[in-house]
Amino acid sequence: MGILVVTGLSIVFIRDLFAVVILFGIYSLVSASFFVNLDAVDVALTEAAVGAGISTVLMLGTLALTSRREKKSSHGSTLPLMVVVVTGGALIYATLDMPYFSDPSDPIHHHVAPRYIQQSGEEIGVPNIVTSVLGSYRGFDTLGETVVIFAAGLGVLSLLGRFGKRPEIALPSPSMSHHLILRVIAKALIPLILLYGLYIQFHGDYGPGGGFQAGVIFAAAIILYAIIFSTESAQKVISPFVIHLLMSAGVLLFAGVGVVTMLLGGNFLGYNVLAHDPVHGQHYGILLIELGVGITVTSVMLSIFFDFSDRKRIRSIEEQ
């Protein structure tokens, strides 16, 4: 907690944006360990992969496009400060009547949650309860979140991307392939990262993990490759066109599972009808939708990263 506060304060006061981005990464990593302490391993994994991992890379990408120094703000800071203080005050006020932390008589332990804990084993048969809730009981929320990711990708694409437009220029993007150490280590690491991504993807039923985290890890491996070697060689492996196709395909796979369940006579995303045995149906359903989530997350992350790096190349050409 102490480290969190110190990091948070230094983010506010440091004007060097590069340092700020790195501090954000530290902040996320510390929160992730905090979540592990609270036994929320799935959340911790997500925080580590998304907060400390991919968003740091994306923010660094933004810095490469803009500048490293923070501009002096022209606005006064009195009003924002007041808003923050009032909000903080309200939050503290709210804690006064909260149930005690980890008190077994909390309302959250007595209403909806017991059924998830006691019956998800029989109804869904997946050992990781978090996956049962995310994938099945509240699967529709997860579909919504996947669409949120898709919408974000769409937004960046419409601002920076060259969707459907052929690139007019072919300037080699900067690469670091002349650094021998980087090259060798990257080559050794990338397959392992990909493998780990797949493990997280398909082992989500049994341990912490699932489509979101796996998608981010998978994307990280490809981004690492793009940074070390060059954007073009990464795009040779997976072209922007394919990325855009995959962005849609993931959402469609997820929603498609829902449509199939409707055609088979169930409700939307009611996986029971997918196989003769409802528990098997749940397994298939969760596996497929997690795959959909993974595909969309990977491709959206890649799309955003490539949009940034292409932008950088185009700008450096304009400057010449």
Partner 1 sequence: MISDNLPALQVVLPLIAAPLCLIIHRPKLVWLFALFICLISLGISIELLSAVINTGPISYEMGDWAPPWGIEYRVDKISGFVLLIVSMIGAVVMLYAGKSIEHEIAPHKQTLFYSAYLLCLTGLLGIVITGDAFNIFVFLEISSLSTYTLVSLGKDRRALTAAFQYLIMGTLGATFILIGIGLMYMMTGTLNILDLAQRIPEVLETRTIRAAFAFLTVGICLKLALFPLHLWLPNSYAYAPSSASAFLSATATKVAIYVLLRFVFTIFGVTFAFEIMPMGTVLMLMAIPAILIGSTVAIFQQNIKRMLAYSSVAQIGYMILGISFASVTGLTSGILHLFNHALMKGGLFLALGGIAYHMGAARIEHFKGLGQIMPWTMAAIVVGGLSLIGVPLTVGFISKWYLVLAALEQGYWPIAVVVLVGSLLAVIYMWKLVEAAYFNNVEPSEVVVKEAPLQLLIPTWLLIGASIYFGINTDLTIGVAQQAAEMLMGAGQ
Question: Where do contacts with partner 1 occur on this chain (CB under 8 A)?
Answer: 90-91, 93-99, 106-113, 115-116, 136-141, 143-145, 147-148, 150-152, 154-155, 157-159, 162-165, 244-245, 247-249, 251-252, 255-256, 258-259, 262-263, 265-272
φ and ψ at 69, to 5 degrees?
A: -95, 145
**Distance of closest approach, residue 5 Cβ to partner 1, in angstroms:** 20
CA-CA distance, 205 to 124, in Å (whole number)?
10
Least separation in angstroms between residue 102's CB and partner 1 is: 13
Q: Are 175 and 234 in contact (CB under 8 A)?
A: no
Between residues 191 and 268, which has the closer beta carbon with respect to partner 1?
A: 268
Dihedral angle of Cα 248, 253, 258, 261, to the nearest 10 degrees: 150
The CA distance from 249 to 243, in Å, is 10
Q: Burial of 40 by CB count in 10 Å (0-12 exposed, 13-18 middle, 19+ buried)?
A: middle
CB of 186 or CB of 274, closer to partner 1: 274
As a dihedral over the C-alpha atoms of residue 177, residue 180, residue 185, residue 188, rounded to 10 degrees, the angle is 80
Q: Smallest distance from the beta carbon of 281 to partner 1, in angstroms?
A: 10
Minimum CB–partner distance for residue 89 and partner 1 (Å):
10
Residue closer to partner 1 (CB basis): 137 or 202: 137
Q: Looking at beta carbons only, is 229 or 278 nearer to partner 1?
A: 278
- For residues 220 and 135, give the distance between their C-alpha atoms in angstroms, rounded to a whole number: 24
| Closest distance to partner 1 from the beta carbon of 26 (Å) | 22
Least distance to partner 1, CB of residue 252, Å: 5
Q: Which tokens go with 181?
A: 């150490």
| Cβ-based nearer residue to partner 1, 13 or 100 | 100
The residue among 183 and 280 lying less far from partner 1, judged by its C-beta, is 280
Are 131 and 277 within 8 A, CB to CB? no
